[in-house]
Amino acid sequence: MSFATLGLIDPILRTLEALDYRTPTPVQKEAIPAVLKGRDVLAAAQTGTGKTAGFALPLLQKLTMEGSQVAANSVRALVLVPTRELAEQVQQTVQQYAQNLPLRTYSVYGGVSINPQMLKLRKGIDLLVATPGRLLDLYRQNAVRFDQLQALVLDEADRMLDLGFASELDELFAALPRKRQTLLFSATFSDAIRQMAKELLRDPLSIEVSPRNATAKGVKQWLVTVDKKRKSELFLHLYRERGWDQLLVFGKTRKGVDELEQLLLAEGIAADSIHGDKPQPSRLRALQRFKAGEVRVLVATDVAARGLDIDDLPLVVNLDLPIVAEDYVHRIGRTGRAGATGEAVSLVCADEVQMLAAIEVLTRQVIRRQDEPGFEPDHRVPVTDASGAVLKKPKKPKQKLIPGTGAGGKGKIHLGNWFDAEDDKPKAKAVRAVPRFGEKPKPGPKKR
């Protein structure tokens, strides 16, 4: 099957030929004809399988064929995405597809000045890509109107809810025309998203071209168990021993990302980082340097789990497992894109076993374990299976009793150091006093 058989017009076909798009992917085969017919669509497909073209190509064609003049501050089609990086990527892709069409496309997101965006919107935009927070800011300032809106696309809507955009989405949905075409495209769909789809979509065509929440078959997955305090050391060891070159590393916290970046730079490895505390120009510059090959290791939080489209990226490393299991699918989806092969390695410590179990349940597979000599953990990671069961619990380390102290070393039982940062510790008080070593417990109050 060719793109021509899907009903696309000549200007779009010429663009696809110039981009060397020969054969539509499974999601594109099903989605493009349905969107052209005006149907609502709920599509689940693995990341890297061409979801953007699945909704962008038919929408651009519809906007072109209808030929309506877009009014000032108005938009005719809206694509909502969860992150700035994804907004930038989708806009660049849409711009490529629309190069032979008389349409205006644009993207708006936070982290940059709002004034240039307001000026651009004055002319009216045919297809706008936006993050919910910035779009709501523009709407509240009357910089954007939805009177002419014909189509709404929610791209990676589950991530929008994970990031806490639920109230912003509700306010935006209330401002949009009720008569419109609505499309939901994502690699994963939580139950909350499916409930939202029931409320937003009218008789949608449901497309699932791969098992729900599946990972790409071309990505080889394995993990190494290690103690938490030795993760960075292990990563540096693997980088050198296995001859790793260009790769993307995901960390859980911004502090952890910065620390790994500084360690790599100190070791003479070209590295950069992306996380929410960095200004948008800095994040874009880091991504551009990585794509250009100036940076060998890009370290990022989950802000980069969606929206980074990097050609031929061979390897993704999870320094920490994600808190949300679905983000694992998106993280490793940065490699093995468009049918290519890739590799995903996770460094897992004992207190991440529940996250590991959740990932294996979600993806319906047990990730292969591999020990690294010299890095065997003192705190063993329990064995898991794809049902979510923890089959073997690690042995608890024996607690040393220090003369003159209680179990916690200060004569009181306390919660212990289970938290990464000082600010994360709960403000808990001692539960009860413990007699000092060799002392008899004091008698309690007499009962009356």
Number of domains in the chain: 3
CB-based contacts of 200, cutoff 8 Å, min separation 6: 154, 173, 182, 184
Shared-domain flag, residues 171 and 294: no
| Nearest Cα to Cα of residue 432 among 416, 399, 408, 448 | 408
* Segment (H or E) for 196: helix 191-200
CA distances from 118 to 40, 146, 153 (A): 30, 15, 22
Q: Are residues 160 and 234 in the same domain?
A: no
Residue that is last in its domain, among 169, 184, 208: 208
Please, are residues 82 and 163 in contact by the beta-carbon 8 Å criterion? yes
**For range 276-303, the mean pLDDT:** 86
Task: Provide the 3-class DSSP secondary structure of residue 295.
Answer: coil
Q: How many other CB atoms sit within 10 Å of the CB of residue 219?
A: 21
Q: What pLDDT was estimated at residue 216?
A: 62
Is-contact 104 126, C-beta < 8 A? Answer: yes
More confident residue, 68 or 131: 131
**What local confidence, expressed as pLDDT, does residue 332 receive?**
86
Whether pLDDT at 215 is above 80: no
Summarised one tens digit per residue, pLDDT across range 253-274 is 889 999 999 999 999 999 999 8
Task: Determine the pLDDT at residue 308.
Answer: 64
If asked whether residues 232 and 157 sit together in one domain, one would say no
Residues across the chain: 448
Tell me if 389 is assigned to some domain: no
CB neighbourhood size of 412 (10 A) = 15
In terms of domains, do 196 and 238 share one? no
**Interval 109-122 mean pLDDT:** 94
Shared domain check, 351 and 295: yes
DSSP H or E run through 342: strand 342-348
Domain match, 226 and 204 both: no
Is 375 among the domain residues? no
User: How remote is the C-alpha of 212 from its chain's centroid?
Assistant: 16
Residues 189 and 303 in one domain: no
Q: Are residues 426 and 354 in the same domain?
A: no
Same domain for 203 and 225, yes or no, is no
Q: Which string of b and e fits 23-34 if b means at least 16 CB within 10 Å?
A: ebbbbbbbbbbb
The predicted-structure confidence for 169-192, as pLDDT tens digits, reads as follows 889 999 999 999 999 887 667 777
**pLDDT number for residue 393:** 52
Task: Identify the pLDDT of residue 397.
Answer: 46
Q: What are the backbone dihedrals phi and psi of residue 38, each rounded to the nearest 5 degrees, phi first?
A: 90, 10
Which is nearest to 59 in space by CA: 126, 6, 14? Answer: 126
Integer CA distances (angstroms), 304 to 132, 275, 339, in order = 17, 8, 21
Q: 181 and 35 in contact (C-beta within 8 Å)?
A: yes
pLDDT for position 188:
67
CA dihedral 58, 59, 64, 65 (to 10 degrees): 60
How far apart are the C-alpha atoms of 271 and 294, rounded to whole Å?
A: 9
Tokens of 319: 């320094």
Tell me, yes or no, whether 193 lies in a domain: yes
Global pTM exceeds 0.75: no
Is residue 328 included in any domain, yes or no?
yes
In a domain, 386, yes or no: no
Please tell me the predicted confidence (pLDDT) of residue 415.
Answer: 35
- Within this chain, do residues 153 and 8 fall inside the same structural domain, yes or no? yes
Q: What percent of the chain has pLDDT over 70?
A: 80
If you average pLDDT over residues 200-216, what whole number do you get?
Answer: 75
Residue 160 pLDDT grade (very low, low, confident, very high; cuts 50, 70, 90): confident
Q: pLDDT band at 387, cuts 50/70/90? A: confident
In whole numbers, what is the pLDDT of the chain averaged over residues? 83
Q: Side chain identity at 421, as an amino acid letter? A: A
Q: Model confidence at 238, in pLDDT bands (50, 70, 90)?
A: very high
Q: Nearest 5 degrees, angle CA 239-CA 241-CA 242?
A: 70
Query: Which CATH number characterizes residue 334's domain?
Result: 3.40.50.300
Q: Residue 262: enclosing H or E segment and its boundaries?
A: helix 254-266
